[in-house]
Structure 1
Amino acid sequence: MSVEHVLAVVPVSDIDAADAWYERLFGRPADNNPMPGLVEWQVTGTGWVQVFHDPDRAGGTMLNFAVDDLDAHVADLAGRGLEPGEVQQANKGVRLSTTSDPDGNRITFVGGFRVRY
Protein backbone atom coordinates (compact mmCIF):
# COMPACT_ATOMS: atom_id res chain seq x y z
CA MET A 1 0.00 0.00 0.00
CA SER A 2 1.30 3.44 -0.91
CA VAL A 3 -0.26 6.42 0.88
CA GLU A 4 -0.07 9.61 -1.18
CA HIS A 5 -1.93 12.06 1.07
CA VAL A 6 -3.05 12.31 4.68
CA LEU A 7 -6.37 14.03 5.34
CA ALA A 8 -7.15 14.94 8.95
CA VAL A 9 -10.89 15.56 9.34
CA VAL A 10 -12.17 17.97 12.00
CA PRO A 11 -15.95 17.83 12.55
CA VAL A 12 -17.58 21.12 13.55
CA SER A 13 -21.08 22.32 14.42
CA ASP A 14 -20.96 25.66 12.55
CA ILE A 15 -18.97 25.58 9.31
CA ASP A 16 -18.95 29.37 8.84
CA ALA A 17 -17.61 30.06 12.34
CA ALA A 18 -15.09 27.23 11.98
CA ASP A 19 -13.95 28.47 8.57
CA ALA A 20 -13.21 31.90 10.06
CA TRP A 21 -11.46 30.39 13.11
CA TYR A 22 -9.26 28.03 11.08
CA GLU A 23 -8.45 30.87 8.67
CA ARG A 24 -6.98 32.71 11.69
CA LEU A 25 -5.26 29.53 12.85
CA PHE A 26 -3.52 28.92 9.53
CA GLY A 27 -3.11 32.62 8.71
CA ARG A 28 -4.83 32.34 5.33
CA PRO A 29 -8.14 31.43 3.71
CA ALA A 30 -8.93 27.80 2.96
CA ASP A 31 -7.13 26.30 -0.02
CA ASN A 32 -10.20 24.45 -1.19
CA ASN A 33 -13.98 24.36 -0.70
CA PRO A 34 -14.86 21.20 -2.65
CA MET A 35 -18.49 21.06 -1.49
CA PRO A 36 -20.87 22.81 0.88
CA GLY A 37 -19.94 22.10 4.49
CA LEU A 38 -16.27 21.27 3.78
CA VAL A 39 -13.21 23.53 3.69
CA GLU A 40 -9.61 22.37 3.41
CA TRP A 41 -6.12 23.67 4.16
CA GLN A 42 -2.99 22.08 2.77
CA VAL A 43 -0.58 22.11 5.72
CA THR A 44 2.31 20.09 4.25
CA GLY A 45 3.19 18.84 0.78
CA THR A 46 0.79 15.92 1.11
CA GLY A 47 -1.05 16.68 4.37
CA TRP A 48 -4.43 18.39 4.55
CA VAL A 49 -6.80 19.47 7.30
CA GLN A 50 -10.45 19.14 6.32
CA VAL A 51 -12.97 21.07 8.42
CA PHE A 52 -16.32 19.37 7.95
CA HIS A 53 -19.83 20.25 9.12
CA ASP A 54 -20.84 17.31 11.32
CA PRO A 55 -22.52 18.56 14.53
CA ASP A 56 -22.96 15.04 15.95
CA ARG A 57 -19.19 14.47 16.01
CA ALA A 58 -17.97 18.02 16.70
CA GLY A 59 -15.60 18.63 19.56
CA GLY A 60 -13.78 15.31 19.92
CA THR A 61 -10.87 15.70 17.51
CA MET A 62 -7.24 16.21 18.44
CA LEU A 63 -4.63 17.48 15.97
CA ASN A 64 -0.90 17.76 16.62
CA PHE A 65 1.33 19.99 14.49
CA ALA A 66 5.11 19.90 14.79
CA VAL A 67 6.41 23.44 14.21
CA ASP A 68 9.94 24.74 13.74
CA ASP A 69 9.78 27.60 16.29
CA LEU A 70 7.14 27.07 18.96
CA ASP A 71 7.62 30.43 20.69
CA ALA A 72 7.26 32.39 17.44
CA HIS A 73 4.28 30.28 16.44
CA VAL A 74 2.50 30.86 19.77
CA ALA A 75 3.14 34.62 19.50
CA ASP A 76 1.83 34.63 15.93
CA LEU A 77 -1.37 32.82 16.98
CA ALA A 78 -1.93 35.25 19.84
CA GLY A 79 -1.45 38.11 17.38
CA ARG A 80 -4.26 36.68 15.27
CA GLY A 81 -6.66 36.76 18.21
CA LEU A 82 -6.39 33.08 19.16
CA GLU A 83 -5.61 31.86 22.66
CA PRO A 84 -2.73 29.39 22.59
CA GLY A 85 -2.11 27.73 25.93
CA GLU A 86 0.95 28.15 28.08
CA VAL A 87 4.02 26.41 26.68
CA GLN A 88 4.65 23.21 28.61
CA GLN A 89 7.83 21.17 28.77
CA ALA A 90 7.61 17.48 27.81
CA ASN A 91 10.43 14.93 27.48
CA LYS A 92 13.64 15.11 25.42
CA GLY A 93 13.41 18.84 24.70
CA VAL A 94 9.86 18.69 23.34
CA ARG A 95 7.58 21.59 24.25
CA LEU A 96 3.81 21.91 23.72
CA SER A 97 1.11 24.56 23.47
CA THR A 98 -2.56 23.68 23.04
CA THR A 99 -5.58 25.64 21.89
CA SER A 100 -9.16 24.66 21.04
CA ASP A 101 -11.51 25.65 18.27
CA PRO A 102 -15.05 26.91 19.08
CA ASP A 103 -16.33 23.30 19.30
CA GLY A 104 -13.57 22.15 21.63
CA ASN A 105 -11.48 20.28 19.06
CA ARG A 106 -7.92 20.39 20.46
CA ILE A 107 -4.96 21.57 18.43
CA THR A 108 -1.51 21.07 19.95
CA PHE A 109 1.64 22.66 18.57
CA VAL A 110 4.82 20.74 19.24
CA GLY A 111 8.27 22.32 19.27
CA GLY A 112 11.57 20.48 19.47
CA PHE A 113 10.07 17.36 17.90
CA ARG A 114 12.50 15.31 15.85
CA VAL A 115 11.48 12.29 13.83
CA ARG A 116 13.82 9.39 14.45
CA TYR A 117 13.73 6.38 12.16
Structure 2
Amino acid sequence: MISELTIQIRVSDFEEGLHWYTTLLQRTPDFIPHNGFAEWQVLPSCWLQVAEGIPSEGSGPIRFGVTSIEEERSRLKSELHMDHFEIYAREEVPAKWATFADPWGNRLGFFENINE
Protein backbone atom coordinates (compact mmCIF):
# COMPACT_ATOMS: atom_id res chain seq x y z
CA MET A 1 0.00 0.00 0.00
CA ILE A 2 1.37 3.41 -0.98
CA SER A 3 1.20 5.90 1.88
CA GLU A 4 3.22 8.92 0.69
CA LEU A 5 4.47 10.56 -2.49
CA THR A 6 7.63 12.49 -3.35
CA ILE A 7 8.30 14.12 -6.69
CA GLN A 8 11.82 15.31 -7.47
CA ILE A 9 12.77 18.08 -9.85
CA ARG A 10 16.41 18.76 -10.68
CA VAL A 11 17.91 22.16 -11.34
CA SER A 12 21.43 22.95 -12.53
CA ASP A 13 21.75 26.04 -10.28
CA PHE A 14 20.44 25.18 -6.82
CA GLU A 15 20.39 28.70 -5.34
CA GLU A 16 18.49 30.06 -8.33
CA GLY A 17 16.19 27.01 -8.24
CA LEU A 18 15.55 27.45 -4.52
CA HIS A 19 14.54 31.08 -5.13
CA TRP A 20 12.37 30.17 -8.15
CA TYR A 21 10.46 27.41 -6.34
CA THR A 22 10.12 29.47 -3.15
CA THR A 23 8.45 32.13 -5.31
CA LEU A 24 6.31 29.59 -7.18
CA LEU A 25 5.08 27.92 -3.98
CA GLN A 26 4.92 31.22 -2.05
CA ARG A 27 6.87 29.91 0.95
CA THR A 28 10.25 28.63 2.04
CA PRO A 29 11.01 24.90 2.03
CA ASP A 30 9.79 22.75 4.90
CA PHE A 31 13.03 20.77 5.00
CA ILE A 32 16.59 21.32 3.78
CA PRO A 33 18.54 18.25 4.91
CA HIS A 34 21.81 19.16 3.12
CA ASN A 35 23.31 21.46 0.50
CA GLY A 36 21.69 21.18 -2.92
CA PHE A 37 18.39 19.69 -1.72
CA ALA A 38 15.10 21.17 -0.45
CA GLU A 39 11.61 19.81 0.16
CA TRP A 40 8.14 21.33 0.40
CA GLN A 41 5.16 19.43 1.73
CA VAL A 42 2.58 20.51 -0.84
CA LEU A 43 -0.21 18.34 0.56
CA PRO A 44 -0.38 15.91 3.48
CA SER A 45 2.04 13.09 2.64
CA CYS A 46 3.01 14.67 -0.71
CA TRP A 47 6.42 16.30 -1.05
CA LEU A 48 8.09 18.26 -3.86
CA GLN A 49 11.86 17.89 -3.81
CA VAL A 50 14.18 20.28 -5.63
CA ALA A 51 17.67 18.88 -6.05
CA GLU A 52 20.81 20.17 -7.71
CA GLY A 53 21.57 18.06 -10.75
CA ILE A 54 20.89 17.51 -14.42
CA PRO A 55 17.20 18.18 -15.24
CA SER A 56 15.27 15.28 -16.78
CA GLU A 57 14.00 15.85 -20.30
CA GLY A 58 10.47 14.98 -21.34
CA SER A 59 9.04 14.40 -17.89
CA GLY A 60 5.92 15.91 -16.46
CA PRO A 61 4.05 18.06 -16.35
CA ILE A 62 3.47 18.19 -12.62
CA ARG A 63 0.32 20.24 -12.17
CA PHE A 64 -0.78 21.90 -8.94
CA GLY A 65 -4.45 22.59 -8.19
CA VAL A 66 -5.24 26.27 -7.56
CA THR A 67 -8.39 28.22 -6.78
CA SER A 68 -7.85 30.83 -9.53
CA ILE A 69 -5.62 30.00 -12.47
CA GLU A 70 -5.96 33.54 -13.82
CA GLU A 71 -4.64 35.04 -10.56
CA GLU A 72 -1.73 32.60 -10.56
CA ARG A 73 -0.89 33.48 -14.17
CA SER A 74 -0.81 37.19 -13.27
CA ARG A 75 1.34 36.51 -10.20
CA LEU A 76 3.87 34.36 -12.07
CA LYS A 77 4.13 36.82 -14.95
CA SER A 78 4.86 39.57 -12.43
CA GLU A 79 7.07 37.72 -9.94
CA LEU A 80 8.88 35.20 -12.18
CA HIS A 81 8.66 37.14 -15.48
CA MET A 82 7.02 34.14 -17.09
CA ASP A 83 6.08 34.90 -20.68
CA HIS A 84 4.52 31.62 -21.77
CA PHE A 85 1.42 30.79 -19.72
CA GLU A 86 -1.60 29.96 -21.82
CA ILE A 87 -4.77 28.71 -20.14
CA TYR A 88 -6.70 25.91 -21.84
CA ALA A 89 -10.22 24.58 -21.41
CA ARG A 90 -12.51 22.13 -23.17
CA GLU A 91 -16.27 22.04 -22.85
CA GLU A 92 -16.31 18.39 -21.78
CA VAL A 93 -13.58 18.81 -19.14
CA PRO A 94 -14.57 20.38 -15.80
CA ALA A 95 -11.23 22.14 -15.38
CA LYS A 96 -8.96 24.79 -16.86
CA TRP A 97 -5.24 24.08 -17.07
CA ALA A 98 -1.91 25.54 -18.08
CA THR A 99 1.50 24.02 -18.62
CA PHE A 100 4.75 25.95 -18.38
CA ALA A 101 8.42 25.25 -17.75
CA ASP A 102 10.86 26.34 -15.09
CA PRO A 103 14.17 27.87 -16.26
CA TRP A 104 15.71 24.35 -16.38
CA GLY A 105 13.06 22.88 -18.66
CA ASN A 106 11.07 20.97 -16.02
CA ARG A 107 7.44 20.94 -17.11
CA LEU A 108 4.97 22.21 -14.52
CA GLY A 109 1.46 23.54 -14.52
CA PHE A 110 -1.67 24.54 -12.69
CA PHE A 111 -5.26 23.40 -12.95
CA GLU A 112 -8.49 24.87 -11.62
CA ASN A 113 -11.63 22.82 -11.13
CA ILE A 114 -14.44 24.94 -12.54
CA ASN A 115 -17.44 23.06 -11.14
CA GLU A 116 -16.52 23.51 -7.50
Name the TM-score class by shorter chain: 0.7 to 0.9
C-alpha distance after superposition, 1:41-65 (max 9, x if no partner):
111111110001122x445442111
What does residue range 37-76 of structure 1 map to in structure 2 within 5 Å? 37-55=36-54, 57-62=55-60, 63-76=62-75
Code of the aligned partner of 1:89: A
Are the aligned partners of 1:24 and 1:82 in contact in 2 as well (CA < 8 Å)? Answer: no
Distance in 2, matches of 1:54 and 1:113, equals 37
Distance in 2, matches of 1:112 and 1:95, equals 7
Q: Which residue of 2 aligns with 1:85?
A: 85
- CA RMSD after TM alignment: 2.0
Q: Which runs of 5+ in 2 are unaligned?
A: none
Runs of 4+ in 1 over 6 A off after TM superposition: none
Are the aligned partners of 2:20 and 2:80 in contact in 1 as well (CA < 8 Å)? Answer: no
Q: Which residue of 2 aligns with 1:11?
A: 10
What does residue range 16-31 of structure 1 map to in structure 2 within 5 Å? 16-31=15-30
C-alpha distance after superposition, 1:18-37 (max 9, x if no partner):
00100110111111101221
State the percentage of identical aligned residues: 27
Scaled by the length of structure 1, the TM-score of the pair is 0.81
Q: Which runs of 5+ in 1 are unaligned?
A: none
How far residue 104 of structure 1 moved from its aligned partner, in angstroms, is: 0.8
Q: What is the total number of aligned residue pairs between the two structures?
A: 112
